[in-house]
Structure 1
Amino acid sequence: MEKETVRMEGFSDAIFAIAITLLVLDLHIPDKDALTSTTAIISYLKGQWPSYLAISISFFSIYIMWVNHHKLFKQIYVRNTGITFANGLILFLVTAVSYPTGLMARFFDTPSANLVVAIYTGLFVLINLSYNLLWYIASRDKTLLRPDITNDAIKKIKLNYLYGLPTYCLAFGLSFNYPTAALIICVVLWVFWALSSGRIHHNENLV
């Protein structure tokens, strides 16, 4: 079967690259006339730690999303209207990550930390739903998938993404009172996906 999704994958890769690049816009170089000593520069850099935190976890999250997007499209061989628009929804939400990242960079060390983390985790609830939607549309018609993919592999991928929804919802709920714990839960989930996607690859010979 000839793969029909090459252009879609290339376009998606470009969007992921742009989304990651946008993150660095939250790093600001101070005016050299405002900081006139080494001590002042060091103090300024230390004060930027929310930006370093926000950018680091967002870079990691987008990278993991790109890895899993790549693995999904190793299994999707034929595109239809549903797949095209579900993929577009993923790309739209991925490009939006830079906004709550910027909010966290500015407000994470303030009393508004719970609000900005709630916005951040809420976005990832939507991203997870969009990934589930893409795989649901693709997997309900097996003729759209790689010819030798097994039913067990299809189910494993489905469950892999379904795990994310209650986890992100938990992080969203906790963010209103425990914003740091909410972020830790998200990071743990991304690590799980990074490791589990490799196991699916190895065990099911999908890629």
Structure 2
Amino acid sequence: MEKETGRIEGFSDGVFAIAITLLVLDLHVPEENSIHNGSDLIVFLKNQWTAFLAFILSFFSIFIMWINHHKIFKQIYRRNSAITFANGLILFLVCAVSYPTALLARYFDGEASSFVVAIYTGIFVLINLSYNLLWYHASKNKELLRPGITDVAIKKIHNNYLYGLPIYLIALAISFWIPGISLIIILGLWIYWAVSSGKIEMHVQHFQKE
């Protein structure tokens, strides 16, 4: 079966690349003549710690999303309108990550920290829903998927994305009380996605060989 999703994947890769690049715009260098020695520079960098935190979290979140996007489209061979629009929703939300990242960088170390973390976590709840939507539309018609993929493999991929949703919702709820813990949960989730993504691919290959 000829793969029909090449243009979707190529366009998506470009959007992911732009979205991840935009994150660096929130990292700023000192104003001219404001730094006179190494101590001044160290103080400036320490004061920028929230910007570095936001950049690292968002960079690796988008990076892991791109990896999972690649993995999911290795299983999708044909496209329809539902898949195209679900993928468009993912790309829209990925582009939007830079805004809550900027809020997190500027306001995390202040009185509004719980609200900015809630906004930041909320965008990832929506992204998780959009991935579930994409796989739902792709997997409900097996003819759209890679030839030979089994029902067990389809369910395994479905569960992999579905399990993340309640954890993101818990992180969202916690953000209103302990925003730092919410960010730790998000950090743990992208580690989970990174590990589970490889396991999913090996699982799919195992069942296709049987």
Tell me, yes or no, if structure 1 residue 64 matches structure 2 residue 73.
no
Deviations 1:137-181 (A, max 9, x none): 000000000011110110000000001110110000000011010
Between the aligned partners of 1:5 and 1:11, the Cα distance in structure 2 is 10
Aligned AA for 1:134?
Answer: L
* Cα shift at 1:32: 2.2
Superposition map of 1:139-178 within 5 A = 139-178=139-178
Any gaps of 5 or more consecutive residues in structure 1? none
Superposition map of 1:3-14 within 5 A = 3-14=3-14
Between the aligned partners of 1:203 and 1:40, the Cα distance in structure 2 is 53
Between the aligned partners of 1:190 and 1:150, the Cα distance in structure 2 is 26
Paired position in structure 2 for 1:26: 26
Paired position in structure 2 for 1:129: 129
Percent identity, please. Answer: 63
Superposition map of 1:1-207 within 5 A = 1-205=1-205
Aligned AA for 1:89?
Answer: L
Between the aligned partners of 2:204 and 2:2, the Cα distance in structure 1 is 21
Give the secondary-structure state (helix, strand or coil) at the position aligned to 1:205.
helix
* Cα shift at 1:38: 2.1
Between the aligned partners of 2:202 and 2:145, the Cα distance in structure 1 is 18
Aligned AA for 1:66?
Answer: W
Aligned AA for 2:120?
Answer: Y
Between the aligned partners of 1:124 and 1:12, the Cα distance in structure 2 is 18
Equivalenced residue count is 207
Aligned AA for 1:80?
Answer: N
Between the aligned partners of 1:197 and 1:35, the Cα distance in structure 2 is 44
TM-score by length of 1: 0.98
* Cα shift at 1:189: 1.3
* Cα shift at 1:191: 0.9
Aligned AA for 2:171?
Answer: A
Give the secondary-structure state (helix, strand or coil) at the position aligned to 2:53.
helix
Deviations 1:111-132 (A, max 9, x none): 1110100000011110000000
Between the aligned partners of 1:202 and 1:83, the Cα distance in structure 2 is 24
Aligned AA for 1:14?
Answer: G
Deviations 1:11-65 (A, max 9, x none): 0000000000000000111112122232111100111000110000100100000
Give the secondary-structure state (helix, strand or coil) at the position aligned to 2:161.
helix
Any gaps of 5 or more consecutive residues in structure 2? none
Between the aligned partners of 1:150 and 1:193, the Cα distance in structure 2 is 22
Aligned AA for 1:20?
Answer: I
